[in-house]
Chains A and B, each alone.
Chain A
Amino acid sequence: MVDKTVRQIWGMGLTRRGALMTAAGWASLSLVTRSHADDEVDDVVKQLIGRSAIESDRIRLSMPRVFPNGYTVPLALQVDSPMTSADHVKQVHVLAPRNPIVEVATFHFVPERSRPQVSTRIRLAVPQFVVAVAAMNDDALLMAKTWVEVATNGCS
């Protein structure tokens, strides 16, 4: 009986996440959209950078958790790196997966010459994870993401 119901649900084209979401109900909706955003982040990184990045505490992305307007949201990022020719950050990509145009900026650093730390201000259309991916000289991809709530659309 249960089996049949389950089969019917899958038969209706519901995904596992969809079924779970229905079961969990509205109370946890924001949680579910966030976990959906997690998958979105992975997809976007693979699509734009070519492969998955590993979340690492060597890269820190600091942004306000809540910001009134999406037109000028402060962003600061920093990567722990000795910046020697043997061990350095080549570039850091910043992505906003729920903006109409996902790529935000790419910062290029030079070993012995610049420190992998930068601050700027960006536009966000809707609440979302902002993602920073550092490409290291040994081809490792290190990632950090932070959830930012904006009240007004900064991209319109």
Chain B
Amino acid sequence: MVTPVPRIQAPGAAAKGEVFQVKAIISHPMETGLRHDEQGTPIPRVIINTFRCRYNDEVVFSVELHEAVAANPYLEFYLRATQTGRLEFVWEEDGGGLYTLSHDITVS
């Protein structure tokens, strides 16, 4: 499998109390485990099963994903700007693979 590449789009600055949008996507086939190859052998399930967003070490948004989330899972969500700091994003794959990104935000 090609190594999944995560991407984030979020503002670099926000006013205190403001709600801002975050877009998160990772290139990933989200193999459901329901398919067979040409020989009829089942293709094992490999999906991103969890997404977590921490804001200065506190989990502020998370998702449990199942097989029916489309390939290259895309998430658009909204956070409140509370203080200057770091957003950390983690995508967890079946089998324990982790893909991470961070994004700094200045809150004034």
Instruction: Spell out A's residues near B (CB within 8 Å).
Output: 71-73, 96, 99-101, 103-110, 112-115, 117-124, 154-156
B25-63 CB mask vs A (1 if < 8 Å, else 0) is 000000010110000000000000000000100111111
Q: Majority SS of interface residues in chain B?
A: strand
Q: In whole Å, how far is B9's beta carbon from the nearest beta carbon of chain A? A: 13
- A110: chain B residues within 8 A (beta carbon): 58-61
Q: How far is the CA of A97 from the CA of B80 in the complex (A)?
A: 33
Q: How far is the CA of A115 from the CA of B35 in the complex (A)?
A: 36
Instruction: Judge whether B68 is part of the interface by a CB distance below 8 angstroms.
Output: yes
A106-B63, A114-B79, A155-B67 are known; give 17 further A-B pairs, CB within 8 A.
A73-B70, A101-B34, A103-B66, A103-B68, A104-B66, A105-B68, A107-B61, A110-B58, A110-B60, A113-B55, A114-B80, A115-B80, A120-B73, A123-B69, A123-B70, A155-B32, A156-B34
- A114: chain B residues within 8 A (beta carbon): 60-61, 77-80
Instruction: Spell out B's residues near A (CB within 8 Å).
Output: 19, 32, 34-35, 55, 58-71, 73-80, 82
B63 with A104: CB separation less than 8 A = no
- A72: chain B residues within 8 A (beta carbon): 70-71
With A113-B58, A156-B35 as contacts: A108 and B71 at CB distance below 8 Å: no
B68 with A117: CB separation less than 8 A = no
CB-CB nearest in chain A for B55:
A113
A117 with B34: CB separation less than 8 A = no
- B32: chain A residues within 8 A (beta carbon): 101, 123, 155
With A108-B61, A155-B34, A156-B35 as contacts: A101 and B68 at CB distance below 8 Å: yes
